[in-house]
Amino acid sequence: MRNKLLVAAVIANLAGMIAAVYLARLIRDVPAEASIETMLLVGYYTAMCAVAVADALLVDEFMFGGRSA
């Protein structure tokens, strides 16, 4: 279980990093329209939240063995 979770966390972090760089480039290149920039920022923060959840699950597994309190 730990190996699968570790692989999932690494993949989530790589995907989040790629999404962050891509969306930051799009935000920088897009003309200043508030609606487009807002949607790109929503995508960016959604990707970062998904990465945070994957990392939290990994830390829970390593620190507490996946047991709930």
pLDDT tens sequence for the chain (69 residues): 778 888 888 998 899 889 888 888 887 876 667 778 888 888 888 888 988 988 888 888 888 876 766
For the chain, the farthest-separated pair of C-alpha atoms sits apart, in whole angstroms, at: 49
Tokens representing 51 are 């990465």
Nearest Cα residue to 44 out of 60, 57, 63, 28? 28
Is residue 6 a contact partner of residue 55, using CB atoms and an 8 Å limit? no
Cα torsion 41, 43, 46, 52: sign: negative
